[in-house]
Structure 1
Amino acid sequence: YDVVALQELWVYHDFCVIRDRAKEGGLIYSKWFHSAALGAGLAILSRYPIIESHFYAYALNGHALHFIEGDFFVGKAVGSCLLDVPLVGQVEVFSTHLYAPHDVPAPEWKRAHRTAQAWELGKLAKASAERGRTVFVCGDLNSVPSSLPITILQAHGQLRDSWQSSHPTNLSCITNNEASYRNAIKEEGITCDSLINTFTASKNAANRGAKGFGKRLDYILFRPAAKRITQRDKHGRCQTEFIDDQVINCDDCHVTLTDPIPVFGYSYSDHFALQATFTIYPNSMESILENQLNHDSSSTSTSTKLNLNHTSPPPTLTTEHLNNSLSALMTKYRSSERSSSFQLCLFGICLVLVPGISIAASFQPLSFLNWIFTLLSVLIGGFGMTMLYTGFLGGNWERSSIKEVCEEMQFELERLRKTDQRKDLFDQRKDLFDERNCGVGNGNSNGNSIGNGNGILNK
């Protein structure tokens, strides 16, 4: 491998063992990301030199009271390494692990933290590509491909899915046997909750995805480096946009490490690994590729032809996506308000009970009752302080982060609405112009002369 991105690597000693063994295979550069109280469990191993590294903690990261889930204490985040790759330039690789609880079919607002994290991650990937860097996002995103967080991440960051770029979306076998589960891994990219994984084999069918074969939760997303172009429109106003400066072909993507560890007999992890191979061409190769495709095959040597998959463009960010995200976040905001109010009420009750129990303890004739009352007041006092911490500090922290993400989405929503309004106005004027010139008021012109902005991959 050239680059390996790891998640849930919680213990630094384990990272040291993996790092030392990876050096034997040529991955001589590595980075382990430190985070929060218990660590985010993120690491990157690379064959190429690491120029710099960055770490971004997500603003919304679970709840402090949900200590069993642990997202708040490990500090879910994204770590990135900037690599110096010969003939390609700067490549930024992101490794991340998104908010885990509440999968489909839970209400969308319960996954609001994950949607906000996807928005932040997409923003980071977009900024990196616009700085002229080739971007790869790897990680456990805890979301199925059709979910809102994945749509927001791909649309906002203009990221393509390596699996979708190299595989048809069909499931050939539907019978419940081991061969079918293996076909699901091969055809659908199932990485989690598979029956052949020893860590998840005991899960019931309801937790194995819509088809019962497992879920695709792990991704390798990519985006070519972008370059800025500035041009004037017909009104003389400067228009700036970014276009792809590279062509990235996903040659292969498949799930690996699916068999149990030899001798031990259990799986490597509760998630299978995902592997992808890419070929990166400069933007100038596009004309060469088109000439090769249009040229007569009899006069062109097959050994000189380049095999480029027609990678579908990433989804376009729409007002519907943003409205759905804002609706989920605001519902989560109101839920947070109710939770904080309830927790602060519990703190108030504890504030009354603690001195009352302490006073009552001094009037007990039996000494052992005195000790019981004292212990009870200590426990109630600790519970009350926890409610104050989670209700006031945790609640305000969560709601402030939600408001910040909502405001960012509102700005983007307004920009999209203005763009749609200008496009509608242009279409109306074009229809009116066609009617005046043609004398036929059929209004069939739909303004298809407007470019779709999908870049050079959209032939």
Structure 2
Amino acid sequence: MNNTESDIATKTPSPNTLLLHLPTSLRIISLNCWGLKYLSTHRSARLLEIGRQLSLASPTPTLVGLQECWTQADYLAIRSLTKSILPHGKFYFSGIFGSGLAILSKYPIEESSMYRYPLNGRPSAFFRGDWYVGKGVACARIRIGPGRGGVVEVFCTHLHAPYAEAGGEDSYACHRVAQAWEIARLMRWAGERGHGVVGLGDFNSEPGGLGWRVVVGGAGVRDVWRVWRPESKVERVAGKVGGGEVPNSGECLRVHGATCDSRFNTWRWSKGVRRELEKGKDQEVDPEVLDPRARRLDYVFFASPTGQRWEVEDAEVGMTMRHPTLRCSLSDHFSVETTLVRRETGQAESEPAKSTYLPIETYDEILAMIATYDIRERKQRRLRLTHFGVEIFIALSCFVAVWWSPHNFVAFLLMLLSTLGLSAGVLDGLMGGLFVGSEIRALKEFEHEVRNAREQALRCLGTNPQPV
């Protein structure tokens, strides 16, 4: 060995030496802040208190992911309160109104990016806003130590909301599953690079649901709550949880990790009860009362870096306190909080690699959903383009009718009808011809990816792939 090679060998640290410079634990918090500008009640006061609670939290958080933090002013207020413990942060811009996503970190953020979902709601549903905020994944590459194993890639997201009545069809389910597929792929790629993976956010999917299965199986990550509370119920069935008995309010928080629609959250209460609360008349919530509406929609997923083994030391539902003066809950969601600890193990005892192939029936379920949604969208495109054509005909007819109009008032009405009708028709034509066409093409890409993954899964199982 020459001198140069000797110097390199001497200077290159061993894996065990690198581990000495890594933190032994990570405290992670994910919270949907409900910070809609002009729409969320007491927005500024609540988010300011969220920042204060983060600064006082024990154990001290090292990674925080926020959703529905829409205004930069609210983000900066939280940053000013937490900068001593979380000196690094990123507010993510996207869409017309912003993504609402932010990541705070104790450790430096080396790189960040905002990945927008190809399937992301419809512009015609302006009263819902999902399409206009440009939903996607806030990505941050965070350096917690030296070497490849000292990188944690954090992915924060807020998937499309269901907007379905009880027992009704959720026409956005395909969008949400496509979004789950996208974030699962990003997390899987991070794991393949040998980095630690943390995925967090409001996934608008219950445990065991299709979106949840796509993320867990497709990314090779673990759901911290299922690891910490394996006895927790998987999903609600016909008003019950996991097909068993409805849990009480206390169990929903402690055991089942319900972060949304809890009886303890004042924003679930009726308007009358909330008005009484504003007058100082509080309501006691009995933890023994059954709570069939409580749901777990917020998650922290993780995977260990190559050569390491990180485990869940604890997990809990947090941010359940009230605002000190307003007496309301800090958000319409509670947070999910967890501590991951690094176990001192050798290379051979590091976390084993997990298969990222889904069960074949899951691929088939996704493909069936895509086929159903594709039919719906093609029908919508035909209807919108037909409406456009009809409005053009009506507008031309009104222009001709004006020539024989006996009175100016009648002519005015005909012009008004043609103008309003043609405007509506043009909007529908643009949506049908441009947006729905773009959506169908994105749907085709999604279908191709699912079919390709299904074929790969079949080959991995030693079976010849069959067309679906």
> Structures share a fold, TM > 0.5?
yes
Equivalent residue for 1:191, pick from 256, 259, 283 = 259
What is the correspondence of 1:50-449 to structure 2 with a 5 Å cutoff?
50-86=109-145, 89-102=150-163, 105-107=167-169, 110-170=172-232, 180-202=248-270, 212-226=292-306, 245-281=307-343, 284=346, 287=349, 317-421=358-462
| Aligned counterparts of 1:66 and 1:91: Cα–Cα separation in 2 | 36
SS class of match (2:336): strand
- State whether residues 7 and 42 of structure 1, in contact with CA within 8 Å, keep that contact through their aligned partners in structure 2: yes
- Distance 1:357-1:49 versus aligned 2 partners, 3 A rule: same
Q: Please tell me the residue identity of whatever aligns with 1:181.
A: S
The answer to whether the 8 A contact 2:357-2:453 is kept is no
Other-structure match for 1:42: 101
Give the 3 Å change call, closer, same or farther, for CA 174–406 of structure 1 in structure 2. closer
Structure 1's unaligned 5+ residue stretches are 204-209, 227-244, 290-309, 425-459
Runs of 4+ in structure 1 over 6 Å off? 171-176, 310-315
Q: Which residue of 2 aligns with 1:17?
A: 77
Name the CA distance, whole Å, in 1 between partners of 2:270 and 2:314: 31
**Count of aligned residue pairs for this structure pair:** 375
8 Å CA contact 1:50–1:84 kept in 2: the answer is yes
Alpha-carbon offset, residue 63 of structure 1: 1.1
CA distance 1:58–1:93, change in 2 (3 Å): same
SS in 1 for 2:368: helix
Code of the aligned partner of 2:449: E
Cα deviation for residue 375 of structure 1 reads 2.3
Gaps of 5+ in 2: 1-60, 234-240, 272-289
**In 1, distance between residues paired with 2:319 and 2:82?**
16
Looking at structure 1, the residues matched to 291 and 348 of structure 2 have their Cα atoms a distance apart, in angstroms, of 40
Q: Deviations over 1:147-199 (max 9, x none)?
A: 111101110100100011111424799789xxx31331111100111122122
Aligned mates of 2:426, 2:171 — CA distance in 1: 28
TM-score with structure 2 length normalisation? 0.74
Closer, same or farther in 2 for the Cα pair 1:321/1:282, shift >3 Å? farther
Task: Assess if the C-alpha contact under 8 Å between 1:160 and 1:313 holds in 2.
Answer: no
Deviations 1:79-104 (A, max 9, x none): 11111103651111111000112457
Native 8 Å contact 2:114 2:136 kept in 1 = yes
SS across alignment from 1:71: coil
The residue aligned with 2:278 is: none
What amino acid maps onto 2:191 in structure 1? Answer: A
Question: Separation in 2 of the partners of 1:413 and 1:107?
Answer: 26
Q: Percent identity?
A: 31
Whichever residue aligns with residue 136 of structure 1, its letter is V
Which residue does 1:304 correspond to in 2?
A: none
Residue of structure 2 equivalent to 1:440: none
Q: Separation in 2 of the partners of 1:311 and 1:109?
A: 38
Q: Which amino acid letter does the alignment assign opposite residue 54 of structure 1?
A: S
Larger Rg: 1
User: Structure 2 CA distance, aligned partners of 1:106 and 1:159?
Assistant: 31
Q: Is the partner of 1:64 in helix, strand or coil?
A: coil
Q: CA RMSD in A?
A: 2.8
Which residue in the other structure is 1:446 paired with? Answer: none
Contact 1:126/1:158 (8 A) holds in 2? yes
Rounded Cα–Cα distance in structure 2 between residues aligned with 1:100 and 1:330: 21
Q: Letter of the aligned partner of 1:5 in structure 2?
A: G
Correspondence for 1:7: 67
Structure 1 residues 175, 142: CA separation in 2 closer, same or farther (over 3 Å shift)? Answer: closer
